[in-house]
Amino acid sequence: MPRWIFITYWWGHQMANLESNFLGIKSPNPFWLASAPPTDKEYNVRRAFEAGWGGVVWKTLGEEGPPVVNVNGPRYGAIYGADRRLMGLNNIELITDRSLEVNLDEITRVKKDYPNHAVIVSIMVPCEEAAWKAILPRVEATGADGIELNFGCPHGMSERGMGAAVGQVPEYIEMVTRWCKQYYSKPVIVKLTPNITDVRQPAAAAKRGGADAVSLINTINSIVSVNLDTMSPEPSIDGKGTHGGYCGPAVKPIAMSMVSEIARFPETKGLPISGIGGVTTWRDAAEFMSLGCGNVQVCTAAMTYGFKIVQEMISGLSEWMDEKGHANIEDFVGQAIPNTTDWQYLNLNYIAKAVINQDDCIKCGRCYAACEDTSHQAISMSEDRVFEVIDGECVACNLCVNVCPVENCITMVEMLTGATDPRTGKVVEPEYANWTTHPNNPSATAAE
Amino acid sequence: MSETSFTPGIVAGRLAADSYDEQFSDLHPLLDGHEALVASDRCYFCHDAPCITACPTDIDIPLFIRQIATGTPDAAAKTILSQNIMGGMCARVCPTETLCEEACVRELAEGKPVLIGQLQRYATDHLQQQGIHPFERAALTGKTVAVVGAGPAGLSCAHRLAMLGHEVVVLEPKAKSGGLNEFGIAAYKTTEGFAQAEVDWLCQIGGITIKHGQSLGAKLTLSDLQGQYDAVFLSIGLGGVNALGLAGEDKEGVLDAVEFISDLRQADDVALLPIGRDVVVIGGGMTAVDAAVQAKLLGALNVTLAYRRGRDRMNASKFEQDLAASKGVRIMTHVVPVGLHGNGAVREIEFEYVNDDMSGTGQMIKLQADQVLTAIGQVLQGHNLPVFDGGKIDVDTMGRTSITGVWAGGDCATGGDDLTVTAVAEGRDAAMDIHNVLVGSSNGKS
């Protein structure tokens, strides 16, 4: 029995249904493997499905002809957190280097054997109508559930006028998307590059071209390290390096911000989104989905820990949904969008103070060093290492919370209406009041 | 096992010949590079870190650990050695569980401190194994200082003085330098001749002459030294041992643990060292534990450590007590020896059980014993020394004694615990004061 079925069975009391229906494409759960090395071939994809993944986006196919050539040296680089936890990965690998025919045959076989799992085919061919017209019927013939247009790959292919070179020109996106809708009958997902100033423009272009959804983010231009002995960027090929595509936990905040921009932009509001970028745990997935993603795609977590990691995502999301009373994933998709706003609309009458739980404090003093050296001198330190917040100085910046090694030892506590903020001497007011009406705002004054 | 494993009395070769190396192997082997990175990653780089405060030599521990974590162990070693020139030995013998590692916030958080001692050794070994001595002497001052005793305090003082540009002559009665590092610490804590290697490395600074076979006495008095040198630093340790004060103490098989440990440390082949079948060690400090554990490692069948108070009062740390227990040493508490029995050689020792206040209970217990090692404290010996306080040379915080121009530090002087690391700190601080007096604005002879 596949492990994911076993887990579902084991959590027999659960109410949550993880089934995903994205653009009419059904999958047992919203966890898809992104187009990348894990989905390069039949062997991997079959094992991924057996391990519990709900769907895959097959690693990008190119046009008919001599296969793509990859470097024969290192193609990945990484940055690490404590204990060599991989926080960011970059790669200089290109699209599939196996022949189109082999890939299409394998896709056909896999889809036939896994009718209830999502199989999406990623495609990248030259920006010419004939090239798309040639490949799309062959992809359609595989029985795959949809296609994803790779407009994001930032290295190698972009130098040949594909990948990010298309994704950075909204007009091209619109044009190619239109061709795809013309020559292909199933859902078309446009994958967006983050290497652009305003991600809303390519998303809007995709929508104008008829895209059923966008997926984001593709990888970010990056140099992860420089070898200080050879003075070569890494990964280094014979003493030379180039920028690669950056992904992994470190890019999640960038990806979520871009997702939220598309989810809030009037021209693209409601356009389905497949969230990509550093999803490593069930919590990451739930966060992306709360910002409007119908599902998520994962790559680096699987490349770091193997396919098994999906089991934690499944059990974790189930448990959280049960706890929150969400019966289906649609119940919470997009729930955080209404609470995502612009700075000017934040309530300036909301006042909080840091509170240190002395029972949990391990007396490392990092909150003190951070506040004393780099913030507001709002934490005192006694001779016996008791650290206390000075409410009269605390602006509730949260830095102490962020640097504290003990989770929930320091918290931000809201001051109640009517209390006096010892820092400003002002009474906390009940009314919401933001910058647009603030007396210090010249525009606000002019508007009155 | 060997033919003599069960033989009564004091005999050699109780273990199979090939098992001694394993018995006396390094207690905490050197971390490899990967282990050091994993261990160093756990340091939180605390503000005004409690581990620094807990270190008698004030090593900037978070800094040196960060230097290891970022791939610069030699820089880490310099951070350590600039505060504690015997950082290599201290990394091996410090009771870190009652010093830096007890203070580590991760001890409070999770009961698992950062491995500060082992990381320190990783850094210092990394530097010293390359033969690098990272310090240079300042311009010569023309001043000379006599250091009496080549133990940790004396060598620490000598190094700092030499670095500051003074000429130092170290007078040492024994044929080898190092003091208790060489003669008094369990073999499994400092393996492969590290004590001598460290002395040689330390002396690479230059300006230090060690003269062996020299001690204070009738031929060489303190006032002689004062006449020949600009300053004198006394680090003569505690040469005497306390006696049990029992009849039968002169029986064969009764000896002091310090001598036992010294013989073991100086042995070319520990397999040739005779050890009792039933060994009783009297005392509750580090020396007692070191002796008891090593008696067990030499193949004694039954080793009992007998202490007059409860385990919480033992000077040996809990880690040391647990180490002894893990090696099979039985720890008896609340017992005071009252008699040594045997015809010529000791065969039995008799104890009385005592209460917490040391009052007798009248209840007796006899233990079979063909070897009794006493570790009930060491005492300062010597004549015409500066004024004592509580049996030791009375010094102020800078190591100044009652005699102008004479400083003292280490076990022979008041202040601090009798630890290697404390001795190093006292030697270093006295050197700084001597330097100030000799060349600085502060004039100690005023």
Task: State the smallest CA–CA distance between residue B140 and chain A in angstroms.
Answer: 39
DSSP A428: P
Q: Do A405 and B48 make contact, defined as CB atoms within 8 angstroms? A: no
CATH number at residue B67: 1.10.1060.10
Which of the four pLDDT bands, split at 50, 70 and 90, describes residue B241?
confident
Domain boundary among B377, B411, B429: B377
Phi-psi region of A126 (alpha: psi -120 to 50; beta: other; left: phi over 0): beta
Residue A136 three-state SS:
helix
Which of the four pLDDT bands, split at 50, 70 and 90, describes residue B265?
confident
- State whether residue B105 sits within 8 Å of chain A by CB: yes
- A89 vs B312: CA distance, rounded Å: 52
Task: State the smallest CA–CA distance between residue A365 and chain B in angstroms.
Answer: 5
Of A90-104, A393-407, B184-198, B209-223, minimum mean pLDDT range: B184-198
**Does B24 fall in a domain?**
no
- B147 vs B162: CA distance, rounded Å: 11
Domain boundary among B101, B128, B155: B128
Contact yes or no for B190/B227 (Cβ under 8 A): no
- A296 vs A284: CA distance, rounded Å: 9
CATH number at residue B293: 3.50.50.60
Task: State the smallest CA–CA distance between residue B52 and chain A in angstroms.
Answer: 12
Q: Which residues pair with B340 in a beta bridge?
A: B349
Which of the four pLDDT bands, split at 50, 70 and 90, describes residue B4?
confident
Of A195-199, B108-112, B176-180, B351-355, minimum mean pLDDT range: B176-180
**Do B186 and B248 share a domain, yes or no?**
no
Asked if residue B3 has pLDDT above 90, the reply is no
- B103 vs B56: CA distance, rounded Å: 13
Residue B361 three-state SS:
strand
Which of the four pLDDT bands, split at 50, 70 and 90, describes residue B441?
low
Asked if residue B233 has pLDDT above 60, the reply is yes
Domain boundary among B77, B99, B128: B128
Mean pLDDT of chain B: 92
Question: Which tokens sit at A264?
Answer: 């809030």
**Do B418 and B365 share a domain, yes or no?**
no
Cβ neighbours of A82 in B, within 8 Å: 41-42
Buried residues in B157-174 as b, exposed as e (16+ CB within 10 A): bbbbbbbbbbbbbbbbeb
Q: Do B41 and A82 make contact, defined as CB atoms within 8 angstroms? A: yes
**Do B385 and B345 share a domain, yes or no?**
no
pLDDT of amino acid B18: 86
Which of the four pLDDT bands, split at 50, 70 and 90, describes residue B444?
very low
- State whether residue B109 sits within 8 Å of chain A by CB: yes
Catalytic residue among A153, A180, A404, A409: A153
**Does B137 fall in a domain?**
no
Asked if residue A10 has pLDDT above 80, the reply is no
Tell me the pLDDT tens digit for each residue of B154-163: 999 999 999 9
**Does B15 fall in a domain?**
no
**Does B215 fall in a domain?**
yes
pLDDT of amino acid A5: 53
Residue B58 three-state SS:
coil
Asked if residue A447 has pLDDT above 80, the reply is no
Tell me the pLDDT tens digit for each residue of A106-135: 999 999 999 999 999 999 999 999 999 999
- B211 vs B150: CA distance, rounded Å: 9
**Does B202 fall in a domain?**
yes
Tell me the pLDDT tens digit for each residue of A285-302: 999 999 999 999 999 999
Which of the four pLDDT bands, split at 50, 70 and 90, describes residue B27?
confident
Q: Does residue A153 carry a catalytic annotation?
A: yes
- A94 vs A68: CA distance, rounded Å: 7
The complex's ipTM works out to 0.82
**Do B148 and B225 share a domain, yes or no?**
yes
- State whether residue B432 sits within 8 Å of chain A by CB: no
CA atoms within 13 A on the CB side of B363: 6
Closest CA to B377 of B392, B366, B367: B392
Cβ neighbours of B47 in A, within 8 Å: 364-366, 368-369, 381
Domain span holding position B171: 144-239+380-439
**Do B190 and B217 share a domain, yes or no?**
yes
Asked if residue A209 has pLDDT above 50, the reply is yes
Cβ neighbours of B66 in A, within 8 Å: none
The predicted model gives B32-45 an average pLDDT of 95
Q: Do A365 and B48 make contact, defined as CB atoms within 8 angstroms? A: yes
Q: Do A363 and B105 make contact, defined as CB atoms within 8 angstroms? A: yes
- State whether residue B106 sits within 8 Å of chain A by CB: yes
**Do B222 and B253 share a domain, yes or no?**
no
Which of the four pLDDT bands, split at 50, 70 and 90, describes residue B443?
very low
**Does B14 fall in a domain?**
no
Q: Which residues pair with B172 in a beta bridge?
A: B212
- A77 vs A90: CA distance, rounded Å: 5
- B259 vs B241: CA distance, rounded Å: 10
Which residue in A83, A363, A406 is closest to B50 by CB distance? A363
pLDDT-above-70 percentage for chain A:
96
Asked if residue A448 has pLDDT above 80, the reply is no
- B102 vs B113: CA distance, rounded Å: 7
Q: Do B50 and A84 make contact, defined as CB atoms within 8 angstroms? A: no
Tell me the pLDDT tens digit for each residue of A105-114: 999 999 999 9
Residues 6 or more apart in contact with residue B440 via CB below 8 angstroms: none
Helix (H) / strand (E) element for A226: namely: strand A225-227
Mean pLDDT of chain A: 94
pLDDT of amino acid A4: 54
**Does B10 fall in a domain?**
no
**Does B288 fall in a domain?**
yes
B34, B105, B107, B115: which to substitute to probe chain A, counting the most A Cβ within 10 Å? B105
**A vs B: CB pairs below 8 A:** 36
**Do B352 and B300 share a domain, yes or no?**
yes
The predicted model gives B308-316 an average pLDDT of 92
